[in-house]
């Protein structure tokens, strides 16, 4: 059997982790790397804090690597993706993309790299996505809410809560994508089928410096037995 080496573009949220889960179930694929693309000199990710991503990597037993990119971003991504082949012999790059929200950026970023882009969740109906996450036993917390897109009176009740709770709460709000594909909210995974430990968190809700986002400040992250 020909086993293809793969990396997953990983921010620790529901979509990329479900994408990873699907890849891990494929016996023809070996996921050897989780990659987080980050701009040079960028501020810490509030919605996807790096210390929580590192805990996820440890729980999964898969190497995590931060890959720095810089302007012009397309050529920088292209170079870094070529380096994934050179350094790790990566043949496949999985992403959890559902919609084309960035003008097919990752399609262009992988062109000519020798690395094949795989988007297993592309176009997935939101109820199907949610049901798969439920069936597979994912534990998902909403880490950030855009209060320009979701009224703050509602957002206050969503931040830090389970995605499944949030999914039900936003079903009736017109114009809100229930997967958060328009940037309405972000998520982080605390437990998934391939985790050898689950993640326990404590924290508090804060508003970012711009005043446009509520985020959950994960000030305590701990791996504990499942």
89-115 confidence digits (pLDDT tens): 999 999 999 998 778 899 999 998 999
Residues 211 and 108 in one domain: no
Residue 133 in 3-state DSSP? helix
Domain of 60? 4-118
pLDDT at residue number 166: 96
Q: Quick check: is 44 in a domain?
A: yes
For residue 102, what pLDDT is reported? 76
13 shares its domain with 103: yes
- For the chain, residues with pLDDT lower than 50 are none
State whether 94 and 194 are in the same domain. no
Q: Which of helix, strand or coil describes residue 52?
A: helix
Count of structural domains within the chain: 2
**CA separation for the pair 10, 220 (Å, rounded):** 21
Q: What CATH number does residue 92 fall under?
A: 3.40.50.620
The pLDDT value given to residue 208? 92
Reported pTM:
0.96
**Do 156 and 81 fall within a single domain?**
no
Alpha-carbon distance of 4 to 92, in angstroms, equals: 7
- Grouping H, G, I as helix, E, B as strand and the rest as coil, residue 83 is helix
pLDDT for position 221: 98
What pLDDT is attached to residue 87? 95
The verdict on 145 and 114 lying in the same domain is no
Look up the CATH number of the domain holding residue 205.
3.90.1490.10
Q: Are residues 94 and 171 in the same domain?
A: no
Q: Where are the alpha helices (DSSP H) in 34-125?
A: 50-60, 73-88, 105-110
Both 113 and 144 in one domain: the answer is no
Q: Are residues 165 and 109 in the same domain?
A: no
pLDDT of residue 103: 82
Same domain, 8 and 113: yes
For 146-163, how does the pLDDT look when each residue is reduced to its tens digit (9 = 90+)?
999 999 999 999 999 999
Q: What is the pLDDT of residue 212?
A: 95
Cα(97)–Cα(82) distance, integer angstroms: 20
């Amino acid at each position: 059997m020909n086993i293809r080496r793969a990396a997953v573009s990983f921010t620790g949220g529901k979509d990329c982790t479900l994408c990873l889960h699907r890849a891990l179930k494929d016996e023809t694929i070996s996921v050897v790397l989780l990659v987080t693309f980050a701009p040079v000199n960028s501020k810490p990710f509030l919605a996807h804090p790096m210390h929580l991503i590192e805990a996820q990597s440890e729980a999964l037993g898969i190497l995590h690597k931060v890959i720095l990119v810089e302007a012009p971003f397309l050529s920088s991504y292209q170079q870094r993706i070529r380096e994934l082949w050179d350094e790790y012999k990566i043949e496949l790059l999985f992403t959890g993309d559902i919609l084309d929200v960035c003008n097919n950026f990752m399609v262009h970023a992988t062109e000519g790299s020798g690395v094949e882009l795989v988007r297993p969740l592309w176009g997935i109906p939101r109820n199907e996505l949610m049901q798969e996450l439920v069936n597979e036993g994912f534990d998902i917390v909403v880490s950030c809410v855009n209060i320009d897109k979701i009224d703050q009176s509602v957002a206050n009740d969503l931040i830090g809560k389970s995605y499944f709770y949030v999914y039900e709460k936003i079903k009736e709000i017109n114009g809100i994508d229930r997967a958060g594909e328009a940037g309405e909210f972000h998520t982080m995974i605390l437990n998934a089928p391939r985790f050898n430990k689950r993640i326990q968190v404590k924290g508090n809700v804060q508003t970012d410096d711009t005043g446009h986002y509520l985020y959950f400040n994960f000030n305590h992250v701990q791996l504990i037995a499942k």
